[in-house]
Chain A
Amino acid sequence: MIFGVLPKGTIKRFRSNKKGMLGLYMLAAAVIIAILAPFLILYDPVAYYAELDYLNHPPTLMYPLGTDPLGADVYSQFIWGFRSALMIAFPSAVLVGIIGTVVGLTSGYYGGLTDAILQRISITFLVWPSIPLVALIVYSWGGYQAQIAIIIGVAFTLWTTTARAIRAEVLSLKSRPFIEAAKVSGSSSERIIFKHILPNVIHLTFLYMTIAVASALVLEATISFLGMGDPSLITWGRMLAFTLTTSSGHAPWWTILPPGAAISYMVCSFFLISSGLRESMRVILVRA
């Protein structure tokens, strides 16, 4: 079981954590909506446009959340957005976890020149303004692979904080007696890293991945909002961009409220999960 690597009692404590469980339920609802999306939508979110009478129409029985200035059904796009949001946010968070853990472990354990170089690179990516970085990566992959490019770009901008946290933890672990003992008894560096250090920092990877999902969602929405994403992919950011560019400031409320609320909902769910997770892990740190 994948949760076996978490510190003992984390899951039990997480279960009794109100905030964390609320976040988890919110996420579960979103995942269910994303899976059932083809049955929940009323019209094709990509290809369907309403007849002329219903352009830019307030919510009615026929269009539960109204239509945007071009006649696309807001409700169907809103539901479909759950799919694209999760499909971009999850992979980029996993990528963030992998890059961050590998860099953090290497730079923390080996130290010296390796550490200095990796630290410099991580500061470089920290100060690189995130939006232009993702935008340029998306440009260089081309508009029709924007989804993959956004995943990679988001991972590139977000791994630094994970790497920093893992590095700090590795540094404090390295001075513990059990690592010394392993070294004295002749274990190789790989064995020490994978057998002794990694199991003790992997919970941080999980924690930072939940934080990264929230940031990934926001960055993805931002890039779509700026009109740099895949135009054929329905995302909440693209919905916002569409209605704002076609209505010159006077965007009707039914077109901007649902996508914005949905992004906030997802970010809030991951924020609650991550703070619940952190609280249930923190207790161990204090007790130990």
Chain B
Amino acid sequence: MSRSRILVFTGKKLIGAVITIFLVMSILFVLLHSIPGGDMVTRMHPFASAEVKAQLRQQWGLDKPLLEQYLIYIKKVFTLDYRLVETQQIDAMDILLFFLPFTLLLFGTATVLSYIIGVFLGMRLLSEKGRWRKLISGTSIILYSVPAFILAVYFRTWFVFKYSIFPPVAVRVAGFSSLYVDESLLSVGRVDLMMALLPGMVLPVLILVMVGLARPLFLLRDQMTIVAEEPFVTTARAKGLSENAVLSRHVARCALLPLLNDASINLALIISGGILIEYVFSWPGIGTVLLLGLKTLNYPTISAGIFLLTVIMLISMIIVDVVNAYLDPRVVL
């Protein structure tokens, strides 16, 4: 019974996700077309000849009526056809998929680390009395207030460039707004790249953990304060359990569920904010490529980037929701 419930739940979530992607891409279409100053061709190649411009417009149907353009656009989005010209060997999606592992490496490590440390500190926080408690919550308030990109700017300026404590990110992203990208660009081994990137990863991960720590920490503390007043906790204490056992076995377990519930929203915030950290450190990831594409209004790159980010976010949200439904039988759709 429970297994079929989970399956139905996942199915409903997946259908919802497809509709969400459709809505996201429709909004993107409206936004891209409401920008004054011409379409992407006039922006990317302002001095190209009329024939070249017309040829470029044809691929994305930019010479057709708006409704037809919309249909072409949606078809391209869902068939993953993100080419700028017909003869292109690799398209924007290939480039982004090449960079996907690096983005996942950075965000995945940071998210997992910040949740583990946050939960650990949050559990300690309630049992600790006095100075430590004040110190930890004070520090996390300050860390929560400093926006991640400002920390990134400070750390990059001082620890990377001025005092050379941490190594810089050793891989540079360039040239994706250019028209003709060939396969040789992506022939570099991913494992080699990753090994080259590892030393540079320390600082971005450190910043993402510092910033991402506060939300699970505060949430857990608040939940535990509420749960600690429930009758069953008093019972546990009356049974003669040690304070540690009461907190970790009875209080923390009940307080962890809302944390998981919140994780799906938190993930959206982490990914939205994280692409800026990528940009500041020129980390070769989706965020950097997307922001570079935004500067030249490159339709394929922007569309592929938004599509990929939305899909990542929706998949991770569905995983969190399914785990939540599996653990908590009260969750219904």
| Residues in chain A within 8 A of chain B (CB atoms) | 120-121, 123-124, 126-133, 135-137, 139-140, 142, 161, 214, 218, 221-222, 225-226, 240, 244, 249-251, 253, 256-257, 260, 263-265, 267-268, 271-272, 286
In contact, A221 and B147 (Cβ under 8 angstroms): yes
Task: Kindly provide the distance from the CB of B196 to the nearest chain A CB, expressed in whole angstroms.
Answer: 19
Report A-chain residues with C-beta under 8 Å of the C-beta of B256: none
Least CB distance from A218 to B in Å reads 5
Closest Cβ of chain A: how far from B327's Cβ, in Å?
A: 20
Q: Is the interface of B mostly helix, strand, loop or mixed?
A: helix
CA distance A56 to B31 in the complex (A): 40
- List 9 A-B pairs, Cβ < 8 Å: A120-B23, A128-B24, A132-B305, A222-B149, A222-B276, A253-B157, A260-B146, A264-B146, A272-B141
**Chain B residues near A131 (CB, 8 Å)?**
272, 275-276, 291
Q: Is the CB of B145 within 8 A of A127?
A: no
Chain B residues near A244 (CB, 8 Å)?
Answer: 153
| Residue of A with least CB distance to B156 | A249
**Whole-angstrom distance between the alpha carbons of A142 and B20 in the complex?**
28
CA distance A42 to B158 in the complex (A): 29
Given contacts A132-B294, A271-B144, contact A140 B161 (CB under 8 A): no
* A136 pairs with B35, CB closer than 8 A: yes
Report the bound CA distance from A271 to B160 in whole Å. Answer: 30
Q: Within 8 Å of chain A (Cβ to Cβ): is B310?
A: yes
Q: Please pick, from B28, B153, B314, the residue contacting A127 in the complex, using a CB distance under 8 A.
A: B314
Once the chains bind, are A137 and B20 in contact (CB under 8 Å)?
no
Which chain B residues lie closer than 8 Å to A127 at the CB level?
20, 24, 268, 310, 313-314, 317
> For residue B153, which residues in chain A have a CB less than 8 angstroms away from its CB?
240, 244, 251, 256, 260
Contact B20 A123 (CB under 8 A): yes
Q: Are A129 and B306 in contact (CB under 8 A)?
A: yes
The answer to whether B265 touches A126, judged by C-beta atoms less than 8 angstroms apart, is yes
Q: A256 — which chain B residues lie within 8 A by C-beta?
A: 153-154, 157
Q: Which residues of the partner chain B approach A121 to less than 8 Å between Cβ atoms?
A: 23
How far is A286 from B149 in the complex, measured between Cα atoms in Å? 37
A127-B24, A268-B142 are known contacts. Are A140 and B265 too (CB-CB below 8 A)? no
Q: A132-B302, A249-B156 are in contact. Are A124 and B23 (CB under 8 A)?
A: yes
The answer to whether B16 touches A249, judged by C-beta atoms less than 8 angstroms apart, is no
The CA-CA distance from A137 to B34 in the complex, in Å, is 9
New A-B pairs, 12, CB < 8 Å, besides A136-B294, A251-B153 = A127-B314, A128-B24, A130-B272, A132-B291, A136-B35, A140-B35, A214-B145, A253-B157, A253-B158, A256-B154, A264-B147, A272-B141
